[in-house]
Chains A and B, each alone.
Chain A
């Protein structure tokens, strides 16, 4: 069974630009969550999508948005990039939402560098 895939793996942008990251969950998984990982803040939850609906959102500004498609693939978008947005963005998929028993399976991440 293929794992979680994320594209692109590396991205370099300049301040003010916008970026779209893509995540394909494990086949059959309907929940996709996004995390930002930085050396200073560690792993922080961005949002979760389940059945094309945002189920939960972390404490990030509105410049960070996402969506999920009918095939469970998800995209996240960051507009008006800032230097502080440089991070590893991780996507995780789970079978379902709303249960604390869920394992999350992580992709390799997209390394975003903002210059």
Chain B
């Protein structure tokens, strides 16, 4: 079946530090991969996506590359800011299951000045 395994949190970093949040997946078909971010008291916002192997999604300084050989989609940012403090979710969708998204457990990130 489909599933997403995400790095456990919480993660605490100093401002301008390098961020990596690991995400690996299992899928029966040809999934698209997503990173969503959730700020306190809000719903999820799409951060970036990749729809096929070797695609790189990027947005607001965040990047993730769809690696089929390692079934991974790790999120990276070169220099985090306090405003990046949030919970990050890795997710996949599979054309065989329509719009059902499979989410990881979420990784809480706190960036301290």
Please report A residues at the B interface, Cβ cutoff 8 Å. Answer: 4, 31, 33, 35, 42-43, 45, 48, 50, 55-56, 58, 90, 92, 94, 97-109
One of A42, A98, A104 near B95 (C-beta < 8 A): A98
Contact A48 B43 (CB under 8 A): no
The size of the chain B interface, using a CB distance under 8 A, is 28
Give 4 nearest A-B pairs by CB, closest first. Answer: A106-B43, A100-B95, A43-B103, A106-B44
C-alpha gap A104/B35 in the complex (Å): 11
Q: Is B20 an interface position by the 8 A CB rule?
A: no
Contact B98 A101 (CB under 8 A): no
Closest to B105 in A: A42
Chain A residues, Cβ within 8 Å of B104: 42
Q: Is B81 an interface position by the 8 A CB rule?
A: no
Number of A-B contacts (CB under 8 A): 73
Contact B100 A100 (CB under 8 A): no
Contact A31 B99 (CB under 8 A): yes
Please report B residues at the A interface, Cβ cutoff 8 Å. Answer: 29-32, 34, 36, 41-46, 49, 51, 89, 93-95, 97-106
Chain B residues, Cβ within 8 Å of A98: 95, 98-99
Q: Knowing A100-B93, A101-B32, say if A45 contacts B100 (CB, 8 Å).
A: yes
Distance of A112 from chain B, by nearest CB (Å):
15
One of B30, B34, B89 near A43 (C-beta < 8 A): B89
C-alpha gap A53/B29 in the complex (Å): 24
Distance of A41 from chain B, by nearest CB (Å):
9
C-alpha gap A109/B36 in the complex (Å): 15
C-alpha gap A106/B46 in the complex (Å): 9
Chain A residues, Cβ within 8 Å of B106: 42-43
Closest to B44 in A: A106
Chain B residues, Cβ within 8 Å of A4: 43
